Structures are given as C-alpha cells and as structure tokens.
Structure 1
Amino acid sequence: MARFLFTTWEGGGHVQPMLLVARDLAARGHAVLALSDPCNAPDAAALGVPFRAWTTAPFQSGKTRDDDRLRDHEADNPLAVIQRLLDRVMAGPALAYARDTLAAINAFAPDVIVSQELLLGPMAAAEARGLPLALLAANVWSLPTLPGAPPFGAGMLPAASDEERGMHAMVSQMSRTFFQAGLPDLNAARAALDLPPLKDLFEQLDAAKAILVATSKAFDFAPEPLPAPFVHVGPYLADPAWVESFTPPPGDAPLVLVSFSSLYQAQEPVLRAVIAALGQLPVRGVVTTGPTIDPAAFDAPDNVVVVRSAPHGDLLKDAALFVTHAGHGSTLRPLMAGVPLLCLPMGRDQNDNAARVTHRGAGLTLPADSAPDTIAAAARRLLDEPAFKTATEVLGAAIRADEAARDAAAALEALAP
C-alpha cells in the first residue's frame, strides 16, 4: 500500500476527475487524502475520499457567484486572464499553498504528491521534501509547454504546414513570456523553502515525474504518442455531488439539454438567448444553471424547464442535442452518449474543446453573443442533418474506448517507492 496526497483548488470541472482518480487508488488498497477548498468537501465525501481543507492558502467556502475568487469573466483580454491566474492561483499564493501542503505532508506522510497543473506551490513543497510528484490535468493541456500541440485558448487546429507550425511556435512563445510575470513571486516562495531560484516559471513543472492528461487521446489534438513525461490517461467524468434528481418533461419532442459552466462566467445573457431560441423550436428544453445562478432569474417558454441541476448522465441517454459553453466534461459526456453539440464558448479551455468538436463534424460552434434566431437555426441543423449524429457516434465510441482503458491509478502507482 502506498500513500497519495492530492492537491487541487475550486476551479470547476477539474475537481471531480481528481477525486475520481483518488477513489480508484483507494479501491486498489492505497491511502489517499485530498487537499482542496472547503466547498469541495461534499464532493470528496460522496466518493469516500478523505479530505483536508486549505487554511493558509486562498480558499472558497461556497460555490456561488460571490465566492468565486478568480473572476476571470471580468478580464477583457487574454493577458489579463493570465495575470489573474498568476496573482490568485499560480504564483501569488504559491508560498501559502506550499505551507498548507507541507502541513498535510507532516500529518499524512504521503509517498507521492499529485497536484493540479496550475498549483505551483504544492509542486515546490514536493520538491522541498524530495517526494515524487505527478501533475493531473483534467482537460486538454493548457500551458505552453507541450511541443506539437496547438497553442491553448483560441481554438486553433493542428498545424498543416510549415507556416502554421511557425505561427503556433510564435504564439506559444508569446504566451510563455506572459507567464514570466509570476516568476518573482514563485522564486520568493522557493527561497522561503530553501530552494534555488528558477530562470523560467515553467521550470517548476520539471519537478514532476509524470504529467497525466486526463482526456481522451481520440478527442485531443496533442501529438501521439505524447512526449515524456506527458501521458494520456483517459477521461474521468461523473455528475458532481450537488446534482439533484430530476424527471424530464413528458412528450415525444426531441430533448435538448443546456448546460453552461458550473463556475460563474457572466453567462446569463447567453442562457437567455438559448432559452429564447428553444422557444422557437418543437423541442423539450431542459436548462441547468449550476450552483452559481438562480433558475428563477430566467423567464422560459412553456417548452423549456430551467433548473439548478439535473443528472446529465441520465438525461443524455434520451437527448437529441446538447447546448453548452464547451467545458471539458460538458463536451466529452455528450459525445460519449452520441449526442451532437452546439458550442458557445466563453473562454478558458472552451474554444479549444469546441474546435475539436467541429473539426470532427460532431457539432457546430457559435459566438457566445449570438442572437436567438442564429442559435435556433444552428440547433435545427444539428437536429435535422444526420451527418452530425453519425460523426458524433464515431467520435463518441473512440472516447468511450479511451475511458474504458483509463489508467491514471496505474501511472501513479508506478511512482510510489
């Protein structure tokens, strides 16, 4: 038996996958402990994963709009988003995250540290104690450190020419340069831990013996095979603990499921536009707002129901269309169920996920500020043209195969002494 300490933060869809990996290790006889924001304690408890909360590091006690400390929806350009990540997650609080991780190490005595890829503080703590470190990314890789992958953020397709490869390299280098603004804070944290300074912020990731990318290689645009220490380990997806039971509206009309981010991204306008669009169509609409938005804030036509949550795993069995912001879990789960997607990305990894969907013919992408008539027209195409359903079933079958073969637990066991 080995002991594994998992460190993550309340960043939405990456929490549940990490807890699922921890649960798998526990089922194999290992001891696990999840270190995260207090608001994630119920998710850990639902999976039987022992939990410890951040105390010195920034944390969220709830999942409401007011609890969100990143507030990246307020940033008006990509550089501002990066600066918020640096100041509020990656570098600014690195020493606080490291100190909480060291306290957990003292109490739990882990053999391996497993960190979410943006938490540099726990990585430095593992380095300071000489413990094996793995990174777990529950999405397509988001940092400019993976050769051969399209730059993250803009929804770029794989390079098809030397000119495009050169452009990708330039964009990646620019992104890497932007992140160096966090280097002074990271080096200050490292100095407090008696670690030498780094010349590049991303050198901190070099402490990891393995970087586990928890998505489907059939879905991803990354090179195959991935260069070491990267490895695809398959997707880890499930309904979160806060989801409540729900009975879909009766009838024979196609069921259209709508779900945007579980975090706040100022998604009220796009939700209102989608609701109005569904009101123009002969469908049964179910809109889930998530924990950050009150369903009562929306007026809906008779054929649309707006609720805070519903079990997507059950509803997707009967759904004909999924309308989404294209977060990682909200993209892969419909694909695995053979349900075409209408993507209206709003930032983060969403443009990249939407690009992977449309490139394979499994859906359509529109701007998040599209008018109801435009959304309704796209939804009609996806419901009426069988090519979308066919392409979705092909891609979904490949993703299901990757899920069936997922092996993050085995990859982590290989790191244990």
Structure 2
Amino acid sequence: MRKNFLFATWAGGGAVPPVLSIARVLRERGHGVRVLADTSLHEEVAAAGLEPIAWTTAPQGDAADPAQDVIKDFEARTPLGAFARLRDRIVCGPAADYACDTLAELRARPTDALVAEHMLLGVLTAGEAAGIPVASLVTTLYPLPTPGAPPPGPGLAPASGPLGRLRDRVLTRLILKPWEKGLPAVNAARAAHGLPPVGSVVDAFGRVDRLLVLSPRALDHPGRTFPAYVRHVGPRLDDPAWAGDLELPEGDAPLVLAGLSSSFMNQHPQLERIAEALGTLPVRGLLTTGPAVDPATVRAPGNVLVTASAPHSAALRHAAVTVTHAGHGTAVKSLAAGVPLVCVPLGRDQAEVARHVELAGAGVTVSRNASPRTIARAVERVLHDPSYQREARRLAAEIAAETATDRAVAELESLTGAAAGTHAVPPDRGVRS
C-alpha cells in the first residue's frame, strides 16, 4: 500500500547521502516521498528523484562553503567548542524553528510517517506533536551512552574491572553535561506545541518510534546493549550524486584511495601531507578533495591523481588501502569492500570511528598533524601486513550479510503499516510559524 513519507535533513556533509538513499528506495517502491532540506541540498535531493522542500525559518547552510556553513566548527579551538556550535546552531538552539517548519509541511499534505536525521530534535518534536509515527536516522555509530561500552566520543577502548567501570561512569557524566545548556531551547520548542518537558536532551533523542542506526553492528562494541526502539539496519553504501565518473591513475602499482571530509574542516594541509606521503611510496594515489576544496590548489607528486570527486564504491574495487579522516561513510564503504584503512581523524565523530576500526584490526590511526613520513609508514604497514586486509575482509562479509536485505526500508514500511490510515495533523494552535 502506498504511504506518504516526509524526510528531513540538513547540510551535514556525509550524513546526507545515507538519508537520501533510504528516501530514494522508498520512492522506487511506489511511496510518496518529499524531503525538507537546506536549499544547498536541493540539487542532490532532486538527483535522487525526490521532491525537495526548503526550510523557511530553520537555518540554511552549505557545509561545502565555509562562508555559508551554519556550524563553522572549523573555527572552534577545542572539541568542546565545536560541540557547542553543533548543539546551539542545529540540535537545540533552533529546535523551535525546525518544529514550526516541519509542522507547516505536515499540515500542508498528508503524511504517514516522519523520518529525520537524528540531530534535528525540532523535527522530532514536530512529529511527536502531530501524533504520527516518527523515525530518526543515525548515520554513524550509535552516539549516546549505553551499558556495555565506553562513553562515545573520545575514541576510548573498552574498560574492564572496577576502575574501568568507574572511568566510564565519570566520563559519561562529563560528556553529557554540555548538553544541559541546550535543554531550555528544546523544552521551549516542546511547550510551544503542547508537549511536556523532557528531563534531558538525551531523553529528547529517544522520543521516537524507531531509531535506525545506519552502521554495521559488527563495527560496534560486541557487549553493548541498546534501548528497545533502536535498530541496527546496516550502512548505506551509495555514492553521493555529485561523485561523478571514475578516473584511475595510470600504472599497475597498488592503488591508495585518499580523501577527507566532503565538508570544510580546514583539511587542505592534511591533503597535501597525504599526497606528499604517497609520493614517497611505490603506489598509485587517487586523492579526492570533495566539494569543499579546489583540487587545483593541492600540490601532489606525479603518482598521485588529484580530483574533486570520484565514486568511491567503484574506486574501492581497485584499492589496496584507504587513507581517510575516518568519516563514517568512507570508512564503512572501505570496509564493505574489504579495504583496510589509515585513519587521520580531523574532529566530530571521527576519532570514535577510527578507534572502532583499530579495535576491529582493520586499520591504524595517525594524528591530524602527522608528518608525510609518518603517514607513509602507516600506509606501508597496512599495505604489507596481511592481518589488516584479513580483518577488513571479515567485516566485509559481515556487512554483506547485514545489507543483504534493506532493513531500513522494511522498518519504515512496518512503522507506517502499523498506523490506521493517514494521520491527520492537529490544527495550528496559534504558535509562531
């Protein structure tokens, strides 16, 4: 039976393609799908065959353009400062604006389910106020504290024994504390639409019918437990619409695929150091700069082809190693192809992803300030130690099994199937729109 889905996303770089991938499959299965998104994403939304709808009061940005980036976390001097920008400029601060825009669209046309990138708490608030099924999409490792695992964020290894459990309890409190400053804005958005307050911002993330984690369960800590509404549905491996065609560097030496963030993270120095490192090795380098960096500005030796973009899924069929910032999308695509990694985390969730890659035995991590010599040694280590490829191939087999069926789409169709017809959205209560 045909259902109507409203998706909501924001200019969050690598978080966008997985969200649009699910929306596209639902459309191909005959459902009605429209997507609330920043205007900078509308071309990408349309390329997926979906209907884009612009935010009207919520923030509008372009993660590939530092002048138009809403968060500008590259200006922050500390990880806490970068987190505060995300909290205040996307997750909590504009929650009321996201809620109003979403409710306006829900009132405009029938909707059977609302599906949002999980950072958009204002969107989740609107869905709860409208009384329709709500699903949120986590496009990385599950980012909230749970039993059986260290607190997410710092990239910690699992601890054991009384001291380890004490470490986790203390650090969990420290990691959750900065969310408290966002709680008044979240509860103000909820009150404006007749909803009771939540006790914490973390509680607000759980006000959904389903939270779908678009990450391999095999990459997370094996002893970790999750809330009942959380489902691991496997990663999305689609390339973004702007990936273009594949051009490989000439020769038959081992191919190293290198690429950092698709959004701006002041990554130009790291790109040049990676290129210089590959220039000292008997390899071919394919370095993709992404939309945020002009490839013409990156100096590279003759064995490294620098291009704005390439379809990583196709390139990985030829690659022996990936050098990456450990963005979840690139890391998981590499593992799905059985390609081990050298991780150069720049910020955000990347240290956490890199740690999980290391714990799985499928790669190594070097500092964002690593010299070309250090990067080259890491590439040689991963290239010549067969254990890294063996573990990457093990994860590839587990990812293949996990993605053999489209669990995300099945969950969303099940969610709407449980509803009795199309939900009517309550009339406007006279709040700001």
User: Distance between the aligned counterparts of 1:245 and 1:354, measured in 2?
Assistant: 28
Q: How does 1:84-103 map to 2 (within 5 A)?
A: 84-103=85-104
Closer, same or farther: CA 394–339 of 1 in aligned 2, 3 Å: same
1:273–1:372: 8 Å Cα contact kept in structure 2? yes
Residue 302 to residue 93, structure 1, CA distance change in 2 (3 Å) = same
Q: How far apart, in 1, do the equivalents of 2:42 and 2:359 lie?
A: 38
Deviates more, 1:163-172 or 1:88-97: 163-172
Alignment partner, residue 422 of structure 2:
none
Q: Is the 8 A contact 1:226 1:232 kept in 2?
A: no
Matched, 1:376 2:367: no
Runs of at least 5 residues in structure 1 that lack an aligned partner in the other structure: none
Amino acid at match of 2:313: G
> In the alignment, what sits opposite 2:73?
72
Between the aligned partners of 2:381 and 2:92, the Cα distance in structure 1 is 45
Point out where structure 2 has 5 or more consecutive residues left out of the alignment.
420-433
**Paired residue type of 1:158:** P
Shift of 1:161: 2.9
Cα pair distance change 1:343/1:62, threshold 3 Å? closer
Paired position in structure 2 for 1:262: 262
- d(CA) in 1 for partners of 2:315, 2:203: 44
Q: Report the alpha carbon displacement of residue 62 of structure 1 after superposing the two structures with TM.
A: 7.1
Give the Cα–Cα distance (whole angstroms) in 1 for the partners of residues 20 and 341 of structure 2.
27
Residue 222 of structure 1: how far off its partner (Å) = 6.1
Q: Deviations over 1:120-175 (max 9, x none)?
A: 1111111211112111111101234x333331221112333332233122212222
Give yes or no for contact 1:56–1:97 (8 Å, CA) kept in 2. yes
CA-CA distance at 1:391 after TM superposition? 1.6
* Partner Cα separation in structure 2 for residue 373 and residue 385 of structure 1: 18
Q: Is the 8 A contact 1:33 1:50 kept in 2?
A: yes
Q: How does 1:153-302 map to 2 (within 5 A)?
A: 153-221=153-221, 223=223, 226-302=226-302
1:208-232 deviation per Cα after TM superposition (whole angstroms, max 9, x unaligned): 0111111111112264663311110
Tell me the residue number matched to 2:349. 349
SS of the counterpart of 2:221? coil
AA partner of residue 303 (structure 1): N
Structure 2 distance, partners of 1:149, 1:45, is 39
What residue in structure 2 maps to residue 141 of structure 1?
142
- Following the alignment from structure 1 to structure 2, what is the Cα–Cα distance between the partners of residues 93 and 267? 28
Question: Are residues 227 and 47 of structure 1, via their aligned partners in 2, closer, same or farther at CA, if it must alter by over 3 Å?
Answer: same
Answer yes or no: is the 8 Å Cα contact 2:338–2:393 preserved in 1. Answer: yes
Matching residue of 1:4: 5
For residues 324 and 48 of structure 2, what CA distance do their matches in structure 1 show? 26
Q: Which residue in the other structure is 2:423 paired with?
A: none
1:54 match:
55
Does 147-156 or 16-25 show the bigger shift?
147-156
Aligned to 2:334: 334
For 2:374 and 2:62, locate their aligned partners in 1 and report how far apart those are by CA, in whole Å.
Answer: 39
Identity %: 44
State how many pairs are aligned. Answer: 416
Shift in Å at residue 327 of structure 1?
A: 0.5
2:428 is matched with: none
Change (3 A) 1:65 1:181: same
Once the two structures are TM-superposed, the CA of residue 264 in structure 1 deviates from its matched residue by 0.8
One-letter amino acid of the structure 1 residue matched with residue 37 of structure 2: S
Tell me if the contact between 1:357 and 1:364 (Cα under 8 Å) persists in the aligned partners.
yes
Report the CA distance between 1:67 and its aligned residue. 2.1
Amino acid across the alignment from 1:83: A
Aligned residue type for 2:229: P
Are the equivalent residues in 2 in contact too, given 1:235–1:406 (CA < 8 A)? no
| Greater displacement, 42-51 / 305-314 | 42-51
Distance 1:227 1:143 in 2: 10
* Cα distance in 2 for residues equivalent to 1:155 and 1:197: 32
Name 2:405's counterpart in structure 1: 405
Give the letter for the 1:409 counterpart: V
User: More displaced, 287-296 or 379-388?
Assistant: 379-388
The alpha carbon displacement at 1:63 in A equals 3.0
Amino acid corresponding to residue 22 of structure 1 in structure 2: A
